[in-house]
Chains A and B, each alone.
Chain A
């Protein structure tokens, strides 16, 4: 009799499970529905594949961590979270096609990611049209966030349904440019060479920096290059042939292309040198990759976006540890941002009490106030606070205002990115100097 009762109970339990909490994972019980977030990252050439792979890792790591903590909890129900990464290949048209697929076929509830600005700009319209709450974690083009109010002469936002679904937690180019330019001007540079990739990231960033330099009276020479180019010697020889060496060569080029450029510049003795400061791409912070491919790149400075290693919170250090375990290198800022982006969406869905009410989720993201690996996230301007004060740039709309932008500099060959000196802004300086002259130690 007892055995029969147990059997009936078991059958009844099995019958009930599909109707409610069907999935169980350790200590948590999950609802049938799995919340799907679309991730967009370049996983194939010509995109910045190394960046895309790091972002993909971060999306999945965030999903794993969230699911290990009982997923997205909405009204007392746990929902498993899944991130489906689409390969943008760094190309706008491919990015659009993949976004379309993520929205139409995978039925994503929200989107995160995007590395290349061109992809971000190309997919924004689709994301708005399909009302997909989106947190971009790496595109820098100013218009990625400013688009919410640009060309709109009424009350923002300007979209048909009255909602701007796009948020950004990476810095705008102008935010990065202003720090680097301020630093270089403080060092007294007057003759600047900008080597710029021919993309929606490079060109606007160069235009912004050139404007700032010229406003301060410096002369600027801009040289465009195509991503994927390997041999830069002819154009570097042209720089070398100038009567006067430039004061600085600033590289606004991403990925391995920047490594080739920096190394060839160093090999030819152009920069870093006594006369010329070398400022390379932020990817130089990935010290293993940097020293493997730029062995002569000592004393090059680079802009670093994201929290500086000495200020790593416990969450940041833990995430960095996981990344190092997976890839054997320091975690790049865009991987941290991608990880945080998933958490921001999760947090917003929980506070909105819905995974599919786009308006409620957008409202919740606007009101976000959460401490994650890169610091405290909030959005100063959006529908909740639509009036940008006079002088506030338009890209501050739906833009996380506090990404930390610093300038770091290596001063020993093979040095870890964690040990590189922070030279600017002064408040973050780690070695008491704003520039380490080649051949010296701080």
Chain B
């Protein structure tokens, strides 16, 4: 048996690639002696050579060489499936005994996802059916239920609504979880019943930090939707908001202590409006002097100008702060005098206990602050005249101007408010993280991911995007198969989701260009 296995593996590993190489050189010869109109594209022949050679060795090559009419999309697809099968057999024998059960998920899932994403949207267009979200649904469905997705979507070409997406997405997530569980049976994320508590803890960690991420990202999306530019100073405005809060609390505390004769510490919550006011002014003034010319047609290369001028603004803020505040880390007092909230362990059944779940007190507080501010912003945008004017400007500047809205003022307001939101986010986080002049660098990169993930221009999208990024990072770090690498890859997990969203739904989860 061992000898048989070894020979089989050897054949698969050595002969497969060997015949593929032969096919690569051999198959283009099919065109020899053919008339121009009968020529088969050389690339197609090369692909056929590689696939035929790898999957069926000399048999495949013989078939394609002597009967070139067989070189079709269908036969090549079959060849790819066979190649996957052949490769999987090697993997089963060489790499991991768990492989058979993981095979479908790892190889067939993506394969069917690709096939479904390629064929089904075309079929919808041929049938003149509503093809909105079909690409995403087809890819998700192909991954989750393989060829069955063709059965579901091909015949009736149903309209793809949110329910479809949720069901298919959940099935896909379940597939990944199953694969993960098979491959990592000792991982804390899959070891039932303990995993229930652990996953809840990590999800809570993600939601808490995600809400805080959202607040910063909302500012970016506000600026983008009204002005059509991405602010590269956003990280520094976030940072300087924290410092304004810090210095306000320090000096206010000293002043009150002097006045009262006892030591007074001002709660960091008061630093948030102060930072907001100062940075709003900073942003508004910057917009008036440096961005306004852009909208007046005085700048030739608007996009490049916007990048460079906001980048320069950020640079000036960062190095001025470094000169004034110094490089040593700072932090304000706590919002609340509770180190952590703990949901104590509760025995649910004889075999299953839930808890404990720990949430750091100040983070929970900052999360609440973030949610309140985002909802306040939504209220402002939806219910007030100025908010509606901002939305109108983001939808159509000229039409807004006709109705009496001053787009120039709206530009200033949007940049000021966007900057203010970043500063409020900083002021909310300075009691939580050690604050240094370059603290915005990590945060701003994440904000760009959140904004694109949620959909450029969408405030609810930024909220959801922030929470998704928070959860993905927390689960990624907490569930990574190699505990030693989980934390190091934390930011990469969000980027993977980001890449997938760009592939499947380039407009983001709630994508639109206006507020």
Residues of chain A touching chain B, judged by Cβ–Cβ distance below 8 Å, are: 44-46, 49-50, 52-53, 198, 221-226, 228-235, 237-238, 240-241, 256, 259-260, 263-264, 267-269, 286, 288-289, 292-293, 295-296, 327, 329
Q: Are B328 and A329 in contact, CB atoms less than 8 angstroms apart?
A: yes
Bound form: Cα–Cα A44–B321 in Å: 12
Contact partners of B360 in chain A: CB under 8 A: 233, 264, 267-268
Interface contact B474-A234, CB-CB below 8 Å: yes
What is the count of residue pairs linking A and B with beta-carbon distances less than 8 angstroms?
130
Pairs A-B, 6 closest by C-beta atoms: A45-B438, A234-B477, A49-B327, A235-B487, A293-B434, A256-B329
Query: Which residues of B, 374-424, contact A by the 8 Å Cβ criterion?
Result: none
B488 and A225 within 8 A (CB): yes
Considering the chains assembled together, what is the distance between the CA atoms of A292 and B328 in angstroms?
A: 10
Q: How far is the CA of A293 from the CA of B361 in the complex (A)?
A: 16
A45-B437, A235-B486, A295-B333 known; 15 other A-B pairs, CB under 8 Å?
Answer: A49-B322, A49-B327, A223-B486, A224-B484, A226-B487, A230-B433, A231-B473, A233-B363, A234-B202, A237-B201, A241-B194, A241-B198, A256-B434, A269-B339, A269-B358
Q: Which residues of B contact A49 (CB under 8 A)?
A: 322, 327, 436-438
Name the A residues within 8 Å of B188 (CB-CB): 238, 241
Q: List, sorted by A's number, 22 A–B pairs whose CB atoms are closer than 8 Å.
A: A45-B436, A49-B438, A53-B327, A198-B488, A221-B483, A224-B485, A226-B487, A231-B473, A231-B490, A234-B473, A234-B490, A235-B490, A240-B358, A241-B198, A259-B434, A260-B433, A263-B434, A267-B340, A292-B331, A293-B329, A295-B331, A329-B328
The reply to whether A233 and B329 form a contact with Cβ atoms under 8 Å apart is: no
Decide if the interface of chain B is mainly helix, strand, loop or mixed.
Answer: helix
Residue B459 at the chain A interface, CB threshold 8 Å: no
Beta-carbon contact of B438 and A237 below 8 Å: no
Q: Which residues in B have some Cβ–Cβ distance to A below 8 Å?
A: 188, 194, 197-198, 201-202, 205-206, 209, 322, 326-331, 333-334, 339-340, 358, 360-361, 363, 433-434, 436-439, 441-443, 473-478, 483-488, 490-491
- Complex contact B488–A292 (CB within 8 A): no
**With A268-B340, A269-B340 in contact, do A234 and B487 touch (Cβ < 8 Å)?**
yes
Docked CA distance A223–B477 (Å) = 11
Min Cβ gap B231→A in Å is 20
Give the chain B neighbours of A45 by CB distance below 8 A: 436-438, 441
Query: Residues of A contacting B442 with CB < 8 Å?
Result: 228-230
Query: Is the beta-carbon distance between A293 and B330 smaller than 8 angstroms?
Result: yes
Residue of B nearest to A42 (CB): B327
Closest to B330 in A: A292
Closest to B195 in A: A241
Shortest CB distance A289–B (Å): 5
A6–B267 Cα distance when bound, in Å, is 72
| A259 / chain B contacts, CB cutoff of 8 Å | 329, 434
B473 A226 Cβ-Cβ under 8 A = no
* B205 neighbours in A (Cβ, 8 Å): 233-234, 237
The closest CB in chain B to the CB of A259 belongs to B434
8 Å CB contact of A233 from B197, B198, B209: B209
Question: Inside 8 A of B433's CB, which chain A residues have their CB?
Answer: 230-231, 260
Q: Which residues of A contact B329 (CB under 8 A)?
A: 50, 256, 259, 289, 292-293
Q: Please measure, in the bound complex, the distance between the C-alpha atom of A222 and the C-alpha atom of B329, giving whole angstroms.
A: 27
- A12 smallest CB distance to B (angstroms): 47
Q: A240-B358, A241-B201 are in contact. Are A46 and B485 (CB under 8 A)?
A: no
In the complex, what distance in Å separates the CA atom of A267 from the CA atom of B205? Answer: 14
B44 to chain A, nearest CB (A): 44
Which interface residue of B327, B360, B473 has the most chain A CB atoms within 10 A? B327
A383 to B483, CA, bound (A): 45
A233 to B367, CA, bound (A): 15
A289: which of B328, B363, B437, B441 is its contact (CB, 8 Å)? B328
Q: Are B327 and A267 in contact (CB under 8 A)?
A: no
CB contacts (< 8 Å) of B478 on chain A: these are: 234-235, 237-238
Q: Complex Cα distance A238/B195, Å? A: 11
- How distant is the Cα of A259 from the Cα of B477 in the complex, in angstroms? 20
Nearest chain A residue, comparing its CB with the CB of B326:
A53
Interchain CB contact under 8 A, B436 and A256: yes
- How far, in angstroms, from A385 to B272 measured CA to CA in the complex? 63
Least distance between A391 CB and chain B CB atoms (Å): 31
Shortest distance from the beta carbon of B461 to any chain A beta carbon, whole Å: 22
Closest-CB distance, B129 to chain A (whole angstroms): 43
Residues of A within 8 A of B474 (CB): 233-234, 237
User: For residue B333, which residue of chain A has the nearest CB?
Assistant: A295
Closest-by-CB residue of B relative to A328 is B328
Interchain CA distance A415-B504 in the complex, whole Å:
55
Beyond A228-B441, A292-B329, whether A221 also contacts B198 by CB under 8 A is no
What residues of chain A lie closer than 8 Å to B206, measured between beta carbons?
234
Residues of A within 8 A of B486 (CB): 223, 234-235, 238
